[in-house]
Amino acid sequence: MTEPRTVTLPTIDHGPVTLTCPAWCRGHADHRPDTHRSDILHIGPAVTLTFHGAEVVIACIVQAPCATIDTPGLGGRTPGISMDPPARTLTPVDVYSFAAALDGYADRIRDLADQLDAILAGGHQ
């Protein structure tokens, strides 16, 4: 077990704010001093789907520990999975549902590839 990591971050509205980072937080190297305390965000490592060098979708665990409100789909004090697109913060149930949709989509584009294969072979003009 590693020691809890604390960080002290400058904020525009509350001065320096000291927080304990969860184990999954990648750190705050990109923190900007003009950040409001409520906008401080713990962010986990990104899980990215890329194809032909283009980013298709990116997901990571996020938590705004000082958020003043929890807005479903936009995050808050409860950790969630930020996914872009659709630029929403999702629950585990949402992410399982998205993964199932991706499985279905993969089947549909394989069917499309099969169809194109047949077209190119002259079978279905």
DSSP, res 38: G
In terms of Cα–Cα distance, which of 55, 23, 26, 58 is closest to 41? 26
Q: Which is nearer to Zn ion, 25 or 81 (CB)?
A: 25
Q: In the bound complex, what is the minimum distance in angstroms from residue 44's beta carbon to Zn ion?
A: 9
Cβ distance to Zn ion smaller for residue 25 or 83: 25
Largest CA distance in the chain: 70
**9, 40 in Cβ contact below 8 A?**
yes
Rounded Cα distance, 81 and 99, in Å = 13
Q: Which amino acid is at 91?
A: T
Which tokens in the block code for residue 7? Answer: 């960080």
Which is closer to Zn ion, CB of 21 or CB of 57?
21
Instruction: Tell me how many residues contact Zn ion (CB under 5 A).
Output: 3
95-114 positions binding Zn ion, by CB under 5 A? none
Residues 2-61 that bind Zn ion (CB under 5 A): 21, 25, 42
Min separation Cβ 61 and Zn ion, Å: 11
**Number of helices and strands in the chain (H, E):** 1, 7
- The position carrying tokens 């938590």 is 63
Shortest spacing between CB 21 and Zn ion, in angstroms: 3
Q: How far is the CB of 64 from Zn ion (least distance, A)?
A: 10
Residue 39 or 57 having the CB closest to Zn ion: 39
Residues found near Zn ion in the complex (CB under 5 A):
21, 25, 42
